[in-house]
Structure 1
Amino acid sequence: MKPSNLNLVEYKAIYRSDVKEPKKEENGNIALPPKLFEALENFYFANADAQHFFQPAKVHGKKALRAKNYVGLVQFHDGTTIEILPKIADLENDIEGAREILLRMLRTLKKSPFRHLDKARLKATRLPLFEIFVSMFLEAVADLVRRGIKSDYISREENLKYLKGKLKIGEHLKRNFIHKERFYVAYDEFLSDRVENRLIKTTLQTLYKRSRSSVNQQRIREFLFVFDDIGTSHDHRSDFKKVKLDRQMAHYEQVLAWCRIFLLGQSFGPYRGRDVAFALLFDMNRLFESYVGAWFKVAKEYTDRKIVLQHGIHHLVYLEKKGREKDGKFRLKPDIVIDGGDIVADTKWKLLDEENKNQGVSQGDMYQLFAYGKKYEGCKELLLIYPKSHTKVEEMRYFFQDDLPLSVRFFDVKENRLCDGDEIL
C-alpha cells in the first residue's frame, strides 16, 4: 500500500474508522484505520507536549483527536503523513496556498534554518511539507560539502603490532603478558569522524528511510557516499551537547539546526514512544507574531519608526525588599513596540466573528494591553492585531481611562499587509 499524504486544517479532526486506508472527507476531517489512529492516540497520551497539539473529541460517535492551533506534520512509520495547515481566510480549500503561507511564516523565525528558504522553493508547494523540509536540509548539506567537511584529532586506543603515540602501561601489561609483540597505545588521529559529521550522516540515513521523493533519495545516496568513512550517532542528545561551533565550524550551523529538527524534533524535543516516526509542529501564535513583527520591520508605512520586537524591560509588579532594589515579577513582553512605547501592539492568532461576544476579543487580552498602556509612560495607542477573517467583522476602537485608545486591527496574511477598516466588512 502506497503511503498517504493528507492535509488537515486547524481545528479539524482525525478520527478512528474502519477504513482500510487513510481518507480525507469532504468536511475536512480525516478518517484513519484503527492501527494508525491508535498510534496517534498513543503518541498523544505519552507526551505532555503533544496534548497542546490535539484535544480529544468525537466524530460520528467515534474517538477523535481535534487539531488545535499547531501546524506542521506528523509522520507514521509506514510513511503516512498528515500535514496540519493554518486556517486562513479564503484558503481552506487551497492547500498549496496555505502551505506557501506557512512556509513564509516559518521563514521569519529567528535562529531557525527556515530563514534560508529561497523564493523558488517557497513556490514549490506541490511537494508535501516533509519533502520540502528534506530538500532544504540537502541544500544545506550540499553547501557544507562545497565548503569542506571538517576533520579533527580523534583520540584512539588500540592494541597494535607497533608502537604509536603513548604506551598505556597498565593496559599493556594486562592485555599483552603473553603477546610480547603487541603494544597497547593511545594516540590522536586527524579524521573526519567527528561528532558533528556523525550527526549529519545519521540524519541522512534517517531521511533516506522516510523520504518518498526519488529526487531526494538520489541526493541522499550521493551524500552518504561522501560521508562513507564516518560513523553514526547512537545517542543524539548526548552528541549534540558535544558539538563545537567555533569560527572554523560556522558553516555547520545551518546543517546541524536541521539535524536537530529531524533527530530531536524542533517543537518539543525527543518524544516518548515508538508509535510515531516523526512529528514537527509549530505554535501558530508564535508564527503569526513573528510574521507580523517582520512585516513591521520592513513596511514602508513604518520606515522612519523605531521598531522593537519582544520588548521586555517592564514588569507587571515589583517586590520591594529592604536595602535592595525592587525585584521585578511577571515580565511584560509586548510583541511590537514602536518609538519607545508611543505605540504598543500584540498579535493574537484567532479568527474573530461578529456572532461572538465582542467578536471574540477576550477579556484577558484587554487586561494584557491595559497593563502595557500603564507601564509604557507616554503611550499614545495600543493595538490588538488579529488575522483577517472570512466572516463579517469590523475594526473596533476602545478607550481606557485617561483616553488611552486601543484599536483592534486585522492583518491579511494572504496579501501580507495590515488591513484598513473598510476592507474587512
Structure 2
Amino acid sequence: MVEIGWGKVRFINYVGTIQLSQVQIDIIPKLHVDALRGRAALVNMLTAAGYVPYLIGSTSLLQVAEWDILEFIAWAFVRELHDQIVRGAAADYQLMEENIGKVKGKILTVPHLRNNFANPTKVYCGFHERTIDIPLNRLFKCALEYLRKKIRTRELLQQVKHALSFFDEVAPIFTVDSKLLDSITFDRQNRRFEGAYELAKLILSRMSVLNRSGSQASCSILFEVNRLYETYIGKAMRSLVTDGRRSVYLQHDQVRLLKNEDTETYNIPLIPDIVVGEMAEDGSERWTTIIDTKWKLPHYQQDDLYQMYAYVTAYPDAQQAILLYPRSAEAVEQKNWSVPFAPQKKILVRTVRVDTYENTLEDLQALIG
C-alpha cells in the first residue's frame, strides 16, 4: 500500500526497491536504526527466509548491505550462477536437421528426397546434438542483459559482464512472461541451477513499466514485510526444534473459537502465525506455545491482547501466547500477564533481534526454552 501526501510518499507494509530511469527508491525496515543496519536486517531476513536463495554469513551482512536491494539480488544471482557454471553450463540434447555430405544420425527420407533429388553428394539427416542454447540459459542471459543496463557499481557490473561471456552461444530473448518462467523443469542433471533460476525469476518477474506512456522501463522488487517477518521467524523456529519431541506449525488452523449449539459444529477458526507442539507421555501432541508476529514498533493495542487471550484460552494445553515484535533501538519493557481463571496461562510481549540470523536464534531459544 502506498500513501501519497504533500511532498512525501509513504510505503506501508512493504520493503524492497523501485528503480526508475532517473530515480531509485529503497524501502528498508524502520527499526530506528541507521539505513545501513536497516538494510542489513532486510538482507538477513530475505536470505534466511528463502526469498533470496543465497545464504550470507553474518560477517558479510554489513558489507553486502552497502549496495541497494537490486544490486544485492544481482550479486546473489551472479555469484550463484557463476558457482554452477564453472562446474559446467546447463545443456541438453536437441534434435538438429542438416543437409550434409555424410550420414549423421538418421536419414530423414522426405526432406532428403525433396532437397537432394538431383544432388547425390548430400544427405538430409536428423541427429541429436548437445547444446547450451536451451530455455533455462536463455532466461539466465535475459536476466544478465537486464542487469547490465541497470547496475551502476563498477565491480558488480564487471561480474555481470563476465557471466554474460559464458552465454555467447545462447540466443537472446526480449520478452519474458509467467508462462515461460513457469515452463522450466528440473531433474538430477540440472537441479544445481535451481537456486540461480529462482533468483533470475525474481528479477525477470518484477521487470515492469510503471508509467502510462511506457517510455521509462522500471524494476520494482517489493516484499510484503509482515509476511516476510512471519516466514523468517517460522523458519528460525523450525531450525531450533530438532529434538523430535517438538514440532512447529505455521498458520495453524486446527482449533475453533466457538461451538454452535444448534448445529453441533465448531465455528470461527483461529489461525495463529506459529504454534509449537510437544509430545506428551501418552503419545498425544499438546500445543503449548503460540506466537503471533507483529512487524511494527512494540506498542501493543488492546485488540492484540484480545487476540492472544482468544488463542491461549481456546488452546487447552497452551502455556503461553507471545506477541513477538522486531527489536529496535528503542528500549521496550517486556510485559507479562496471566489469565485470572487459569494463572498458568501467560500472555507475553517480547522482542527479537533481526540484524543477524544467529542473534534471532539466540533470542528465540531463550523464549521457548
For normalisation by structure 2, the TM-score amounts to 0.77
Further displaced range: 140-149 or 387-396: 387-396
The one-letter code matched in structure 2 to 1:256 is: Y
Q: Which moved more, 1:127-136 or 1:255-264?
A: 127-136
Task: Judge conservation of contact 2:21–2:218 (CA < 8 Å) in 1.
Answer: yes
2:53–2:195 CA contact under 8 A, matched in 1: no
Shift of 1:350: 1.4
Amino acid at match of 2:254: H
Cα deviations across residues 259-289 of structure 1 (Å, max 9, x unaligned)?
0111113xxx867664452111122212322
Deviation at 1:139, TM superposition (A): 0.9
- Distance change >3 Å, CA 313–CA 303, structure 1 → 2: same
Distance 1:261 1:121, change over 3 A: farther
Runs of 4+ in 1 over 6 A off after TM superposition: 182-185, 269-272, 302-305, 317-320, 326-329
Partner residue in 1 for 2:334: 395
Match of 1:199? Answer: 139
Residue 72 (str. 1) matches residue 16 (str. 2): yes
Equivalent residues in 2 for 1:12-411, closer than 5 Å = 52=1, 54-59=2-7, 64-78=8-22, 80-89=23-32, 91=33, 94-110=34-50, 112-124=51-63, 125-156=65-96, 160=99, 165=106, 167=108, 169=110, 181=119, 187-233=127-173, 234-265=175-206, 274=214, 275-297=216-238, 306-310=246-250, 312-316=252-256, 330=269, 332-339=271-278, 340-352=286-298, 359-363=299-303, 365-389=304-328, 393-400=332-339, 402-403=341-342, 404-411=345-352
8 Å CA contact 2:230, 2:273 repeated in 1: no
CA contact (8 A) 2:54 2:195 kept: no
Deviation at 1:328, TM superposition (A): 8.8
- Superposition CA RMSD, Å: 3.7
| Residue identity matched to 2:296 | K
| Compared CA separation, residues 337 and 117, structure 1 to 2 (3 A) | same
**SS in structure 2 at match of 1:116:** coil
Residues 191-245 of structure 1: CA distance to partner in whole angstroms, max 9, x if unpaired? 1111111111111111111111211222222222211101123434233232121
2:138 and 2:145 map into 1 onto residues whose CA distance is: 11
Change over 3 Å in CA distance of 1:263–1:327 after alignment to 2: farther
> Match of 1:361, as an amino acid?
Q
Give 3-state SS (helix, strand or coil) of 2:223's partner: strand
Q: Which has the higher contact order (CA 8 A, sep 6+)?
A: 2
Is the alpha carbon distance of 1:203 and 1:386 closer, same or farther for their aligned partners in structure 2, counting shifts above 3 Å? Answer: same
SS at match of 1:280: strand
Q: Which secondary structure does the structure 2 equivalent of 1:406 belong to?
A: strand
User: 1:189 is paired with a residue of what secondary structure?
Assistant: strand
Moved more, 341-350 or 327-336: 327-336
One-letter code aligned to 2:37: G
Deviations 1:26-59 (A, max 9, x none): xxxxxxxxxxxxxxxxxxxxxxxxxx3x123223
Tell me the TM-score normalised to structure 1 length: 0.68
CA distance, structure 2, for counterparts of residue 217 and residue 183 of structure 1: 47
Unaligned runs of 5+ in 2: 279-285, 365-369
Percent of residue pairs bearing the same amino acid type: 24
**Per the alignment, do residues 192 and 369 of structure 1 end up closer, same or farther by CA in structure 2, a change over 3 Å counting?**
same
1:155 maps to a residue whose letter is: L
**Structure 1 alignment gaps of length 5 or more:** 1-51, 321-325, 353-358, 420-425
User: Once the 2 structures are TM-superposed, how far is the Cα of residue 347 of structure 1 from its aligned partner?
Assistant: 0.9
2:145 aligned counterpart, secondary structure? helix
Asked if structure 1 preserves the Cα contact closer than 8 Å seen for 2:16 and 2:222, the reply is yes
Q: Which moved more, 1:303-312 or 1:339-348?
A: 303-312
Aligned partner letter, 2:273: P
Alpha-carbon offset, residue 172 of structure 1: 7.7
Return the alpha-carbon distance in structure 1 between the equivalents of residues 178 and 350 of structure 2: 43
| 1:152 positional shift | 1.0
C-alpha separation between the residues in 2 aligned to 1:119 and 1:130? 20
In structure 1, C-alpha distance between the alignment counterparts of 2:146 and 2:331, rounded to whole Å: 47
Structure 1: which amino acid aligns with 2:204? L
